[in-house]
Structure 1
């Protein structure tokens, strides 16, 4: 049976913060909220001793924050390159390519997209991670991405409906 300790509590808190990020309709607030989520998740992985995952979350936090400060394609390509440079050598299964590809699409979205398009591309990333987590057998990761998908779809529908009424 899994033990609920401080590290797991931080992970559950990160899950709640992450899910609530998808409620934002404002792109910049969404990006900043994702940054906070990724920092908390990074702390969770450090407490769990999962330093590779912590490193990945740290890069994601920096990427999300950078996307609030600049839309520079150079910065975007730096983060995409970093994802592939760090990710490819650590692949253990072919389906893990989905996480690198999905994160690359999400990086492009954070730097180049807004509104519903941003959310749809992030949704694609969530489906990539959900598939990875299902194939990996990660219950927590599957629940997290499933929740992100549901909340993101809810927000996309709200954004779409508010556009229709204008």
Structure 2
């Protein structure tokens, strides 16, 4: 088996882990599953020779776990600076700017947004990643991010419709936060 197919296999594993991420309405489970996915897809990108994307994905994993503990602007700023510094230092092609931009957007979303707004910003971040992954030739990465784009988009519409009907789709999340606080 060649290194290329090992890398693609890791990408497919990430696909399996990440496929149900955006269905979660519980913020904690959403973030933990997103972190696991990011860690695995980061390994995939490093194996594919896409260091900026690999660094962005690994930073995503760490950042997502930390965002469970704090929403500090200072911590968010550190992750944005790391993403820009590490990503821009290694990029060779303009398309490699997309995962960097997507990571900056999703960092902002995880630290500053809640509920439906988080999902909308994450959808834009996903659009950056799916474009990059298709350009890179990442089978698993394109499948998962394309799936995220569709699934998150459908869930955004579903959650928005629930809100229009007066139903809070994130009520469970708010109740848990009140119990913890």
Normalised TM-score (structure 2): 0.78
- The whole-number CA distance in structure 2 between the counterparts of 1:30 and 1:11 is 20
> How much does 1:54 deviate?
4.6
Residue 41 (structure 2) pairs with residue 64 (structure 1): no
2:112 matched residue in structure 1: 112
Give the number of the structure with larger relative contact order, counting CA–CA contacts within 8 Å between residues 6 or more apart. 2
Could you list the runs of 5+ residues in structure 1 that have no partner in the other structure? none
1:78 matched residue in structure 2: 78
- Could you tell me whether the CA contact under 8 Å between 2:31 and 2:68 is conserved in 1? yes
> How much does 1:135 deviate?
3.1
- Could you tell me whether the CA contact under 8 Å between 1:24 and 1:155 is conserved in 2? no
Residue 21 (structure 2) pairs with residue 21 (structure 1): yes
2:136 matched residue in structure 1: 136
* Aligned length in residues: 165
Query: What SS does the aligned partner of 1:57 have?
Result: helix
Could you list the runs of 5+ residues in structure 2 that have no partner in the other structure? 167-181
> How much does 1:143 deviate?
1.9
2:91 matched residue in structure 1: 91
> How much does 1:91 deviate?
1.2
Supply the RMSD in Å over aligned alpha carbons: 2.7
